[in-house]
Amino acid sequence: MSFEPKIVAFLCNWCSYAGADLAGVSRYKCAPNVMSIRLMCSGGLEPSFVLKAFKEGADGVLVCGCNLGDCHYTDGNYKTLMRMTLLKKLTEQLGIEEPRVRLQWVCASCAEDFTNAVNRITEDVRALGPYKKEKVEVESGKNT
Protein backbone atom coordinates (compact mmCIF):
# COMPACT_ATOMS: atom_id res chain seq x y z
CA MET A 1 0.00 0.00 0.00
CA SER A 2 1.30 3.44 -0.83
CA PHE A 3 2.20 5.76 1.99
CA GLU A 4 -0.46 8.25 3.03
CA PRO A 5 0.99 10.96 5.28
CA LYS A 6 -0.78 11.78 8.50
CA ILE A 7 -0.73 15.53 9.04
CA VAL A 8 -2.00 17.31 12.12
CA ALA A 9 -3.08 20.91 11.55
CA PHE A 10 -3.52 23.40 14.38
CA LEU A 11 -5.88 26.15 13.23
CA CYS A 12 -6.77 29.34 15.03
CA ASN A 13 -10.45 29.91 15.63
CA TRP A 14 -10.77 33.36 14.08
CA CYS A 15 -8.96 33.22 10.76
CA SER A 16 -7.51 29.87 9.82
CA TYR A 17 -10.41 27.67 10.87
CA ALA A 18 -12.78 29.99 9.02
CA GLY A 19 -10.43 29.88 6.04
CA ALA A 20 -10.40 26.07 6.15
CA ASP A 21 -14.17 26.08 6.43
CA LEU A 22 -14.43 28.36 3.43
CA ALA A 23 -12.17 26.04 1.46
CA GLY A 24 -14.66 23.26 2.13
CA VAL A 25 -17.74 25.34 1.39
CA SER A 26 -16.14 26.59 -1.81
CA ARG A 27 -15.37 23.00 -2.82
CA TYR A 28 -11.65 23.52 -3.21
CA LYS A 29 -9.85 20.30 -3.88
CA CYS A 30 -7.71 19.56 -0.87
CA ALA A 31 -5.63 16.58 0.24
CA PRO A 32 -7.60 14.49 2.77
CA ASN A 33 -4.53 13.83 4.93
CA VAL A 34 -5.02 16.61 7.41
CA MET A 35 -6.62 16.22 10.82
CA SER A 36 -7.44 19.65 12.12
CA ILE A 37 -7.45 20.81 15.72
CA ARG A 38 -9.02 24.14 16.51
CA LEU A 39 -7.36 26.50 18.97
CA MET A 40 -8.68 29.86 20.08
CA CYS A 41 -5.42 31.41 18.94
CA SER A 42 -2.31 30.01 17.29
CA GLY A 43 -0.45 31.83 20.09
CA GLY A 44 -2.00 29.29 22.46
CA LEU A 45 -0.15 26.51 20.70
CA GLU A 46 2.34 25.07 23.11
CA PRO A 47 5.43 23.72 21.35
CA SER A 48 4.84 20.46 23.20
CA PHE A 49 1.62 19.94 21.18
CA VAL A 50 3.70 19.75 18.02
CA LEU A 51 6.18 17.33 19.58
CA LYS A 52 3.33 15.26 20.97
CA ALA A 53 1.79 15.00 17.50
CA PHE A 54 5.04 13.48 16.24
CA LYS A 55 5.24 11.21 19.24
CA GLU A 56 1.71 9.96 18.59
CA GLY A 57 2.47 9.12 14.98
CA ALA A 58 2.02 12.26 12.88
CA ASP A 59 4.27 12.57 9.83
CA GLY A 60 3.90 16.33 9.60
CA VAL A 61 2.43 19.27 11.49
CA LEU A 62 0.85 22.35 9.96
CA VAL A 63 0.26 25.41 12.11
CA CYS A 64 -2.02 28.15 10.81
CA GLY A 65 -2.79 31.54 12.31
CA CYS A 66 -4.06 34.94 11.24
CA ASN A 67 -1.90 37.15 9.06
CA LEU A 68 0.58 39.19 11.07
CA GLY A 69 -1.21 42.28 12.32
CA ASP A 70 -4.64 40.65 12.08
CA CYS A 71 -4.64 38.61 15.29
CA HIS A 72 -7.94 38.67 17.15
CA TYR A 73 -5.91 39.03 20.35
CA THR A 74 -3.62 41.71 18.87
CA ASP A 75 -0.29 39.90 18.94
CA GLY A 76 -0.89 36.20 19.57
CA ASN A 77 0.44 35.22 16.18
CA TYR A 78 3.72 37.05 16.77
CA LYS A 79 4.21 34.66 19.67
CA THR A 80 3.42 31.81 17.29
CA LEU A 81 6.00 33.12 14.86
CA MET A 82 8.72 33.29 17.52
CA ARG A 83 7.92 29.90 18.98
CA MET A 84 7.69 28.19 15.63
CA THR A 85 10.96 29.74 14.45
CA LEU A 86 12.75 28.32 17.46
CA LEU A 87 10.80 25.07 17.44
CA LYS A 88 11.76 24.40 13.84
CA LYS A 89 15.42 24.72 14.80
CA LEU A 90 14.82 22.24 17.59
CA THR A 91 12.90 19.72 15.51
CA GLU A 92 15.53 19.83 12.79
CA GLN A 93 18.18 19.03 15.36
CA LEU A 94 16.01 16.11 16.45
CA GLY A 95 16.10 14.78 12.91
CA ILE A 96 12.59 15.88 11.97
CA GLU A 97 13.08 17.22 8.45
CA GLU A 98 12.30 20.87 7.82
CA PRO A 99 9.23 20.39 5.54
CA ARG A 100 7.45 18.30 8.18
CA VAL A 101 6.79 21.36 10.32
CA ARG A 102 5.13 24.25 8.56
CA LEU A 103 3.76 27.60 9.63
CA GLN A 104 1.25 29.26 7.30
CA TRP A 105 -0.85 32.36 7.80
CA VAL A 106 -4.42 31.80 6.59
CA CYS A 107 -6.98 34.59 6.82
CA ALA A 108 -10.74 33.95 7.02
CA SER A 109 -11.16 34.52 3.30
CA CYS A 110 -7.92 32.78 2.27
CA ALA A 111 -9.37 29.41 1.30
CA GLU A 112 -6.83 29.10 -1.47
CA ASP A 113 -3.88 29.70 0.86
CA PHE A 114 -5.16 26.98 3.15
CA THR A 115 -5.66 24.52 0.30
CA ASN A 116 -2.21 25.23 -1.07
CA ALA A 117 -0.60 24.83 2.34
CA VAL A 118 -2.34 21.50 2.93
CA ASN A 119 -1.49 20.18 -0.50
CA ARG A 120 2.08 21.34 -0.24
CA ILE A 121 2.85 19.82 3.14
CA THR A 122 1.10 16.60 2.12
CA GLU A 123 3.21 16.30 -1.03
CA ASP A 124 6.43 17.30 0.76
CA VAL A 125 5.86 14.74 3.50
CA ARG A 126 4.79 12.08 1.01
CA ALA A 127 8.12 12.57 -0.75
CA LEU A 128 10.00 12.30 2.55
CA GLY A 129 8.18 9.16 3.66
CA PRO A 130 6.93 8.34 7.14
CA TYR A 131 8.47 10.02 10.17
CA LYS A 132 10.59 7.20 11.43
CA LYS A 133 11.54 6.78 15.02
CA GLU A 134 14.82 5.17 15.90
CA LYS A 135 15.16 1.91 17.69
CA VAL A 136 14.82 2.00 21.46
CA GLU A 137 16.26 -1.19 22.98
CA VAL A 138 14.65 -0.88 26.36
CA GLU A 139 10.95 -0.55 25.80
CA SER A 140 8.61 -0.83 28.69
CA GLY A 141 5.93 1.57 27.48
CA LYS A 142 5.82 3.18 30.88
CA ASN A 143 7.02 6.58 29.77
CA THR A 144 4.34 9.25 30.12
Partner 1 sequence: MAKLKLALYWAASCGGCEIAQLLIGDRILKLAEAADIVFWPVAIDAKYKDVEAMEDNSIDVCLFNGAIRNSEQEHMARMLRAKSKVMIAYGACACRGGIPGLGNLHNRQQIFDTVYRDTASTEKNGNIFPQPSYKAPEGELEIPVFYDTVSTLNQVVDVEYYIPGCPPEEKTTWLALEALIQGKLPPRGTVISHNVKAVCDDCSRKRDIKKIKKIHRTYEFIPEPEICLLEQGLLCVGVATRGGCGALCPQVSMPCTGCYGPVEGVIDQGAHFLSAVASVIDSKDEEEIRTILSDVRDPVGTCYRYSLPDSLVRRASIK
Window contacting partner 1 (CB under 8 A); options: 10-18, 22-30, 115-123, 130-138: 130-138
Nearest CA to 42 out of 14, 72, 80, 87 is that of 80
Q: Is residue 25 near partner 1 by the rule CB under 8 A?
A: no
Q: Is residue 55 near partner 1 by the rule CB under 8 A?
A: yes
Show the DSSP H helices in 56-110 as ranges.
Answer: 76-93
Rg (CA), the chain: 15
In the complex with partner 1, the residue whose CB is nearer, 26 or 48, is 48
In the complex with partner 1, the residue whose CB is nearer, 22 or 39, is 39
- Residue 50: partners with Cβ closer than 8 Å, 6 or more residues away: 10, 61, 63, 87, 91, 101
Window contacting partner 1 (CB under 8 A); options: 26-34, 59-67, 84-92, 118-126: 84-92
